């Protein structure tokens, strides 16, 4: 894992935090000094991770498609930790199917989690971050947000949409000191730790001039194919 950055005093909400990349991100942020609201619908795993991380983490049942859950998550951060500085939209849903094999219900479900959820999240935290004088939002996309791929029509559509939403939010919220960036992940074994390191950097004051960026953590996969 890359050397840590300084996140002392910062408070972040991380969605999809109970397992996988979300749990790795949460552990990294706490290790770097942040306090974290772990948002997920996997209650048992979320509570177990909060117990593991101790006083610097609290679990909140957060269905990212629920505006009410988002409001409660922001309120919990403010009540429990006294502030909110950052949001990491990591929760994601993948349906592997071609365009013709993707049923409308599944397409909508993927968009609800991967695009509508981050939209609700950014709306939920925007006012608090404005009043705080700034903050950082990191949206976790995928390499499929940078190019097309077979068999992931709904997933790729949602992640391309998330990139566009991130850029609009970066432009609108930048004047309030709120930075919005997108990380496009790969699928190699080291990717979760590398993604977590980039998230920590983007939440830190070391990245104060970075916003509206698409940061690929994919081993140059989306750059093209080598013929050598």
How, if at all, do strands 86-89 and 135-142 pair?
parallel
Q: Which of 59, 107, 155, 201 is catalytic?
A: 155
Concerning whether 155 is annotated as a catalytic residue, the answer is yes
36 forms beta bridges with: 12, 57
Sign of the dihedral defined by the CA atoms of residues 147, 148, 151, 157, in that order: positive
What strands, in cross-sheet order, belong to the sheet with 178-185? 57-61, 35-40, 11-15, 86-89, 135-142, 178-185, 214-217
Q: How far is CA 120 from CA 63, 71, 177, in A?
A: 11, 9, 20
Per the structure block, which two tokens stand in for 114? 């991967």
Residue that has been written with the tokens 């950082």 in this structure:
136
CA torsion, points 32, 35, 38, 39, in degrees to nearest 10?
-110
Residues belonging to the active site: 155
């Amino acid at each position: 894992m890359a050397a840590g950055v300084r996140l002392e005093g910062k408070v972040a909400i991380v969605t999809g935090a109970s397992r996988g990349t979300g749990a790795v991100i949460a552990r990294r942020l706490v290790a770097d000094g942040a306090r974290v609201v772990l948002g997920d619908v996997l209650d048992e795993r979320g509570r177990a991770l909060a117990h593991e991380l101790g006083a610097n983490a609290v679990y909140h049942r957060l269905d990212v498609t629920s505006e009410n859950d988002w409001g409660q998550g922001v309120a919990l951060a403010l009540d429990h930790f006294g502030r909110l500085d950052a949001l990491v939209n990591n929760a994601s849903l993948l349906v592997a199917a071609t365009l013709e094999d993707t049923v409308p219900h599944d397409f909508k479900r993927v968009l609800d989690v991967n695009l509508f959820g981050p939209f609700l999240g950014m709306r939920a935290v925007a006012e608090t971050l404005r009043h705080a004088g700034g903050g950082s939002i990191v949206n976790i996309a995928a390499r499929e947000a940078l190019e097309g791929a077979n068999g992931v029509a709904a997933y790729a559509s949602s992640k391309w949409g998330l990139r566009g939403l991130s850029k609009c939010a970066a432009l609108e919220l930048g004047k309030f000191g709120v930075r919005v960036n997108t990380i496009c992940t790969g699928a190699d074994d080291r990717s979760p730790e590398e993604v977590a390191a980039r998230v920590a950097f983007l939440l830190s004051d070391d990245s104060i001039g970075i916003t509206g960026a698409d940061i690929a953590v994919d081993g140059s996969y989306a750059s093209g194919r080598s013929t050598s």
